[in-house]
Structure 1
């Protein structure tokens, strides 16, 4: 990483981050990081294909088709093509529609859905190779996490910005600028154009606007890189300047954090994959609840009361007290905890529905859940304590913020998740073909072969 001229003010930070991302080459990425990147790509595509079943995709697709344009980019699980910007918007929203896509706590948010849809649309337009796309993906991913670090924690926790939308716009811009081969000046301008578009609020969680945030991040980043390539001007110090992104979007701007070395040396190797189709901050309580049920074998009617100890920030993220829709259910700690205790399959997409939210057994159990919101503990940690009618008190803890120790086993689990998501939409043959192609993503001479498989 290039040094910035003033570590206190962050002078030169945007250019330093741009130069680091711009200089990355495929041979610079170790095999382990490439493996993790391929897993991110697989998971995001799988979530995108399955996410096209959501009504919000129909609405966005109708609007984008009405807008018209030169159709060069495929749409997940749908016939026909769209202009690249429109495809980035629709595919980004689709990939986040189920809230089943990956997470990185350095942002903190959903890294892959902000970057990949824009990158795939641009790569399909250009006929780029898999190796070039993967390198650009990693470049955008690493920059995105570094931007997230310099404005943490206030950007997300205190002010209520959705980092997938805001920080994600920088990641998408960097990835697309890399694929376009922009020089240092234009690369930094692309970040500036992305920064002035970056928006998205956590108050929209539980509505269609949350998936829209991911689509907009992809759209913003692709537009930023394309405009910069054409010579569009922007500040090249957008992150650190007065009234710039960091100073207007966080009370905690710390430019030195951009230079932190992540565990394993790469942020992509700290990616967290989701195996419950709900907000990631509900996962620890779900897993703790499931472990209690598996160990003690109780039924819902055996439970007298439930306590969940969790970080207080979760109150502003996933604490819809009485959800009435499947989308709201994904952001209800009480209901998802009840689902875990009742043995509901929280990885199944159909488990999040209006019917499930209104199920009398789950509602009764949900209303027995009380939240103990504590400051200063990890957002990904939870302790679930039960008082049973037979007088027993039992508890379990879980932390969902620990990356997998075995990336190979993780890959096997992700391939099973992918097949479960894609088979019902495109069929078993297409799902298997895509798994095989993404295993060898770096070897693809033209990304258009994979994109032909993702569309209906």
Structure 2
């Protein structure tokens, strides 16, 4: 880390950059991508609100009562902004169908947006202000990820929870209009409350991580606004966030001179309802089935070549629940080769883990780790009963540069997930979200996102 006096002032630099952002500073690409992130967040949160993890959380938290100032998405209920951030954040990650950025090896939007939306309802902010604050937080969360990569994630921290708390604080601080000094204080408050373990993947704690990040960030910004103190160099100081949670410290990457759309352009959207590091392998498996037409019965051997980072993330060899199935390379590849719809949330129910066809394919698969592969690349090799060998690969870490095409795919995903829950109202909500940042009232937007049941 070096001596404190010689250490670059990363925290204050990030805070000043985020605090100074204005809507007029945003590129067309940044606005488009932020809208797509927000649309996708609602797409996964509305059905996610019905998941058991969210029901348990609501039953526990709402018993205490709170001023009903913020919406619980996918529910007719309202609660305090802090409660809404926690519950909506957990709901948005409960299906593990939300977006990813490899700069943090985590999920940015589920950490950033829930607290922003709750705060916006509470203070009456419009969609322009929310979109600006979202982009500011997105920049900070990715730069903080770059500061500590790859050691932070490699050591066992779930970056969505930890680094996500910093980004959420940045977003909420920007929405509150805090200056650079007060924003840096908020980052320090968030840093000292941030926690989240990768060992919890496959359990209800993983979606809770997103809710806690949103809650931590919102509370940190509000406390800082009231005069609560912390260190303003929390990211870089001795025994600070980077020093205690990573062996890496890359201030030049964190403070890279680049526009605000630099990191959001690399946002990765999910089209399979499983851990993102399974997506390259799923796409490769689908390609093998579609291009070569090999029936699952004819497959006699499967090899899955992936980077080592997947080993402690999505390498559950014999999952026993639908949630664990989302973190199993072997089973998700088996599903792809068997023609199962991995984009449907109903596919990942507990029963899928015991289906004989899938178990047979799962158990014949071997995992090969290749250190030359980037984080989201995979290759799948199959051998058939007639001694043929087929190979396909996919790097799921490459973002789509055709934003119109991406927008159409995300609208289709939204309709598939939201219409069964909201019915005809889903089209009205989609229209409001595709125009997000037009100065619309957040109260009106959030009203559309609340289920009548």
Q: Is the 8 A contact 1:72 1:81 kept in 2?
A: yes
Check if 1:438 corresponds to 2:433: yes
Please say if 1:240 is aligned against 2:236.
yes
1:372 equivalent in structure 2: 368
Q: Distance in 2 between matches of 1:450 and 1:39?
A: 15
Partner of 2:445: 450
Q: Within the alignment, does 1:354 sit opposite 2:350 as a pair? A: yes
Q: 1:200 to 1:248 in 2, by over 3 A?
A: same
Q: For the Cα contact (< 8 Å) 1:46–1:421, is it kept in 2?
A: yes
How many angstroms apart in 2 are the aligned matches of 1:232 and 1:405?
42
Contact 1:128 1:445 in 2 (8 A): no
- How far residue 423 of structure 1 moved from its aligned partner, in angstroms, is 0.8
Contact 1:21 1:174 in 2 (8 A): yes
**Matching of residues 72-221 of structure 1 within 5 Å:** 72-157=69-154, 159-221=155-217
Contact 1:8 1:255 in 2 (8 A): no
Q: Is 2:292 the partner of 1:278?
A: no
- Structure 2 Cα separation of the partners of residues 447 and 264 of structure 1: 24
Count of residue correspondences = 450
- Unmatched 5+ stretches in structure 2: none
Please state whether the residue corresponding to 2:303 is helix, strand or coil: strand
Kept after mapping to 2: 8 A contact 1:7/1:255: no
- Report how far residue 10 of structure 1 moved: 3.4
Q: TM-score, normalised by structure 1?
A: 0.97
Give the Cα separation in 1 of the matches to 2:258 and 2:363. Answer: 40
Unmatched segments (≥5 aa) in structure 1: none
Q: Which residue of 2 aligns with 1:391?
A: 387
Distance change in 2, residues 1:381/1:394 (3 Å): same
- Is 1:330 the equivalent of 2:326? yes
Distance 1:424 1:203 in 2: 33
Q: Quote how far apart the aligned CAs of 1:444 are.
A: 3.3
User: Does the residue aligned with 1:107 lie in a helix, a strand or coil?
Assistant: coil
RMSD: 1.5
Report the alpha carbon displacement of residue 279 of structure 1 after superposing the two structures with TM. 0.2
Aligned twin of 1:70: 67
Is 2:294 the partner of 1:301? no
Partner Cα separation in structure 2 for residue 298 and residue 189 of structure 1:
58
> What TM-score do the two structures reach when normalised by structure 2?
0.97
Show the counterpart of 2:9: 12
Cα gap change, 1:8 to 1:261, in 2 (>3 Å): farther
**Superposed displacement of residue 235, structure 1:** 0.4
Q: Do the aligned residues in 2 keep the contact of 1:136 with 1:179 (CA within 8 Å)?
A: yes
Q: Which residue of 2 aligns with 1:35?
A: 32
